[in-house]
Every structure is written in C-alpha cells, then in structure tokens.
Structure 1
Amino acid sequence: MPTAQHEGERGPAREQMPVRRGLAPLDERLSEPERRCAERLRELRARIGLTSEELAERLSGDGIRVDRTRLSKFFNGREVPRREIAVRLHALAAEGEGAEVSAEEVRATRALMYAAACVRSPLQAREFELATAREELDLHRAEAVEELASLQRELHDERKRRQDAEDALEDMAFHSRAEVRALTEERDAALERIAQLEDQIRQAGAVLRLRDRDAETLDRITRATDAELALWEHGGTGELSGICAAVVHLRDADEDDAADRLIDQIALGHPVRDVMRLVDEFAARRRFYDGSRLEGVLASKRKPMDLFRCLSNEAEQSEARSRLLGFVAEHAPVEHLVRINKACVDHGSLELGSALRNAIAERQREVPENDGDLWTTHLRLMLEMARELSPAPAQQTASAGGSAPVDR
C-alpha cells in the first residue's frame, strides 16, 4: 500500500501531465467521404500528440476559432474543418517529427476535406472550390507573366539583329553580292519575326489583363463567401438582425478578435449599400463601437470604385450619401480619394466630385504633392480651391449685444 509521502509526491505529477483521451468510434451512419476525412484527421492528431486543449489553442487564430467541442466534431466526422486548418495540422505534425511540411500530403488532406464538405456543408465546399480556382488562376497568371517576359526578351534580340544587319548594309562597298544578299535576308527575317513578336506581345498583354480581371472578380466572390462562412460559424444569418446578433454574441463572450474579424469580412464581402444599412442597425441597437468600426473598414478597405458606384446611385440630398461621403473623407487612404475623384471626372459626376472635395476639406485632410501623378495634383489643387471658396469661421462674440470679440 503506498505511503502518504509517495501519494503526495505522485499527486502533483499527475496534475502536471496533460492527458490525451482516446476518440470514440466513428458513427456508422457517416458517408464514405465523411469517414475518410475523419480518419485522416485522426491520423494527423495521433502524429501531433497534443491534448485536445493544446491542439485547439494551436489551431485557433487569424479569424478561425477552434475549441474542444468543435475539435471533437472534426475528429468524429460531424463537421468539416476550414481549408486553412489542413495546413496548420500538417505544420504541427511536421514540427513534432522534425520534418518539412509535404505539399502533396496537404493537397491529399484538402481533397478528402472537400469531398466530405460536398456531402455535409455546401458553403464550405464553395470555399474549397474558390480557393482552388484562385490557386490555378495564380499559376496561369505567373505563366503568362513569364511568357510575356520571354517574348519581350526575344523581341529585344530580334531588333538588335535587324539593326546589326542594317548597319552592315550601309557599307555595301565592302561586301560582295552574296554577302549583301545574306544580310538583306537576315534583316527581312528579323523584320518578319519582329512583327510576329509584337503581335504575340499584344495578345499576351491582353490575356494578362483579363487574368487580372478574373482575379478581381474571384476575390470579390471569395470575400462574400468568407463573410457567409463567418456568419455560419458564429450562428448568424445573412440578414441584418442575424449579423448583429452574431457580433453581439461574440462581444459578450469576450471574443473581440473574432467579432472584429467578422465585421471586417462583412464590410468587405457585402454590397456597400447593405453595409450602410447594417451601420444603421448597429446604431438602433446602440452598438456604436461596432457601427464605427464597420464605417472605418468600409471606407478604408473597400475598392474605390465600389464606393463611387454606391455614391453615384444615391440621391444628391440623401442622408445615406452624405454619411458615406463623410466616412470616405475621414477614413479612406489618400490614393483611394484620388481614384474616386478621378472617377467623378471620368463619369461626369461633377456635383458628386465637388461634394467629395468639400467633405475632404472640412476634415482638413491633406493630399501630399506628387509631381509624377496628374490626378493627385488635380485633387490637391481642387482642395485648395475648395478651401479658398469656403466661408471663414464666424468670429466668436462676448454677447449678442455687439460687444467686441473676446479672444478665448
């Protein structure tokens, strides 16, 4: 029978050693894709060797929240992890084994997760599809950039070859007829190849521009999907009341980082007009901090043309346009202000451009000199004119009876 001393020595040791409990058998009702995904995740958990609490903490971050309950759902096949978690699991396994992360293993795990998501979570399946499409688009874009650079290098060489032939032909007296004929053929061949290369470069440039537009469209769709995923994970819906409820729940649970992340995703993933209505919803609930944060993210991080289109579609005297102009003038980066001002000029929205510049001037925003950019200079000069035309602040008086101004 152990002595009290031995029990006292062994007690603290048991408290300090984390216990990694075994997993329950998988439910027989799981589909084959769900079962294979769960088995893969269990295999990674065994390789990592951390307790559930430790693993949940290491997997959380950057807007992804994982706790013991959710971790259990992953390993039991009742929920499919977000796509980013595959990389984190493999990184932890590689860290424990002192090895490098295998990109092939990560792809295999993601394939299993995608197959399970197609069965259990169409919204997550969409996330996988968009991320895969973006990776392929980035790969094709890199190939297009390299092809364009290669064509430009070849064009440079062909132009030099043509110039060398033409320089040699200028001294025809020093060449035989055969040499002149050979130089002429070389020059003509270079000219023909130059014309071909210039045409290929124009097409390659057009393809690259189209791929950039594809990337912008895909990014916009991805932001909207991320916003819906965040709402789904936090128990909210796409309706204004559901979004507010999700944010309030996170604030009350002291999960401010997750709440901020959700607000950011909503501001970037929903139409600008809907985001403005959400600001009103926060104000009605007296959640002024969340409304202000939403305004700031909307004005500072949305694409300038998104903001311009929303402003253009609002009535001239509408309160919504006035408030959005204020957010933009207060929070938007200078380069975004320059772009919106340019859009006002390009689209003939002269009144909107004037209102924007007045709002910027009222907030005393400064546009630094930039001799290399015409539109930055244009906005800076127009702001100077707006300040000159604005009425001077009224002098303060001691009383309404006409006494002399008092210097306060």
Structure 2
Amino acid sequence: MTASTSPFNLETCARPNILKLVPYRCARDDYKDDGTNILLDANENAYGPSLPLTASSTAETAGLNRYPDPHQHVLKSAFCALRNTNPTKPLTPENLFLGVGSDEAIDALLRCFCTPGKDKILTCPPTYGMYSVSAQVNDIEVVKVDLNLESGNLELRPDSINEALSQDANIKVAYICSPGNPTGALVDPEAVKKVLAHPTWNGVVVVDEAYVDFAPEGSSLAPWVVDYPNLVVMQTLSKAFGLAGIRLGAAFTSPPIAQLLNNLKAPYSISTPTSSLAYTALSEAGLVIKSENVAKILSQRARLLQELPNVPGIGRFLGGFDANFILVEILDRPGGKPSNTVALAAYKGLAETRGVVVRFRGGENGCFGCLRMTVGTEDENGRLLERLREILGGIYSASA
C-alpha cells in the first residue's frame, strides 16, 4: 500500500485540540542565534551557571546559562545519517521527534491521537510495560492481542491484530516492540507491513526499536517512514549506545506527525549536555566505539546461550536472540517443567544472597517460569553462571 492509497487521515485520526494547537514560540524561532547576538529575550542569567569552575570544567559548562536549541536540527541530522539507507528518499530532520527517552514519545503519541475515556491503544503481550502505564495515566483503554504463545518463539500475529483493528474503530495506536521486550525477538518486517496495509483502519502503527542495534545490520524500519504516513519508529541511545543516563529517545515518522508531536512537547526538553553527548555518540568516532561494544555484547550473548544450558534446572530459551538480553525458563527440577515458584526463588536468591539482579518475568503471558537476563561483561556473566548454579542447586537440594 502506498501513501496515496492509505486509509490514514491525520485530520480525523489526531485529536482536534492537538490539530489546532499553536506551539510555544520564542524569539529564537524568528531570529536564529549565530553566536554574535546579545541575547536579552529569554530572561536568562547572563553571568553564567552557578557552578565552581576549573580549567577542565569550563568547556563542559559553557553555555549552560542559556536555554538549549529547541529544534535540535544538528542532532536530528546525525540521527538521520545513522538510519538513512535510501538515497532517493532520505530521512530529514522533519521526520524526527526527540524526547526524554522513548517514554516521552510513547506518552506524546497517546496525547496526540487518543481522546481520554474514549479511544484505545493496542499492545501485543508480553511486551514493554510503559505502553499500558502511559495509557492508564491518560485514561485510555488497552486492547491486547497476545503474541503467539504456543510456539515458544513469541511471534507477532498480524492477522489477529488486523481483526482487532477492524472490530474497533476507537483503537488509534498499535504498539509493536521489535526486538521485543522481554522476548528478545525481532519482528518479521512482513508482519509489520501486513498491519500497515490494513485497508480501512485509520490509526498509527508504532514500532519500538530500542534494541535494534543488537539485531542483524539493516533491521531498522526507520527508513520506511518516508513511504508510510502512519508509521512511527522509536529508538533510543540508552541501549547499544550505552547512554541511558542522558535520557534521549527519537521517533522517526512522517513530517505531519512529527510536527504535531513537536508542537505539543515542552520547548527545551532536550538539555544542552544531553544534546552534546548524543551528538558525540553519533559521530564517526562514537559509532566506532558503539560497534566495538555491541560486538562484545554479542560475543557474551553467544557465550550465555552456550553455557546456560549446562546449568542444571535451565530450560528452554524463549523468544529470540536479537537483543542484549535473553529470556530463559527455570525448571522445577533438572529435566522437569517450568516453575514460577523456582524462578521467583532463584530471582530473589540471586539478588538477596549473591549480589546478582536479573528480572522475574513469570507473571507475563507466555513467560511462565522465566527469568530475563541482561548480557553483562565477561566477568559479570561468569559470576551469573556460577551463582545461578549455586542458587538452583540449593533450591533443588532443599526440596529433595
């Protein structure tokens, strides 16, 4: 389906108050600062930040008394360069919304398209919990279409999603996590394409790609947004780039949707330190370091996949292997069946007596008896394997 034949209509899908929203503007929207202007427009402190300065810190704190660039065109261009794969239809800064982590984009999309108490979103459990949390905060109902819970691979079910979209016109946003959290599995692009090709649904498809840089190269669907008017692809610097502390997320989408999202955001939400660190990470030198670190993580992921099955009481790996974590069953006994009781005991025992914190996921659909384990350093993974063996051995001995 092409943009011209899509049933998506921004004018009827977005909330009327958002379509009418006049964004906050400052004088620097009209008169760009070239570094030579005397800035007396924003009530800033002209004498600088209230920080004790040293020779080494002066450069780092320069400009902190001024509000950051509200548009972040330079940083957005760096994001586009990262994902541009189609020279004839390149991504541009007009395709981008930058927020405080992907969570701001999740919430902004709901406020943009869903009327509280009326409209709904669709999620595909097991999946990232913030979709539902944000929906509840905004008084928006969640329609759930489970992944394939029978296969162990936890694949997306596009036909079931499309059926739900056909039955309920109040579903305005569908969230798809790829690679999934907690599944670790990359979603088949053809499955996403099938949802995008829904013949009548007037809504937005959101693909959350927080972990895409741990998947095979070229897996990102960000370049697709130039062809699909209702597609949003979210990414973050928190994972593969190792910058969780700066809280920066990006949403690639069509210029009209990006404009609405940028209209409703706070004017200076991306801080100067965040912007500077992000731009450095997206530089040529930063990308080299990121690639080196991802390679180390993938090597350690392969190690865990090889060595975890040698620990008595470890069951199947569920989902896929396209992220920096794995989802694994914990059994009631070696060679037995998955057990939430043992998985929960192992989770608590690791954290409380062995100093290793993983995530218990046994309460989620399709994840019975499962722990989710992030891939750590070589030393951290060695300790995980050793201490998991100790904890499970003690649990099994006590129940014998």
RCO higher in 1 or 2 (8 Å CA, sep ≥ 6)? 2
| TM-score normalised according to structure 1 size | 0.28
Higher normalized helix content (fraction of residues): 1
Taking structure 2 as the reference length, the TM-score comes to 0.29
Which has the larger Rg? Answer: 1
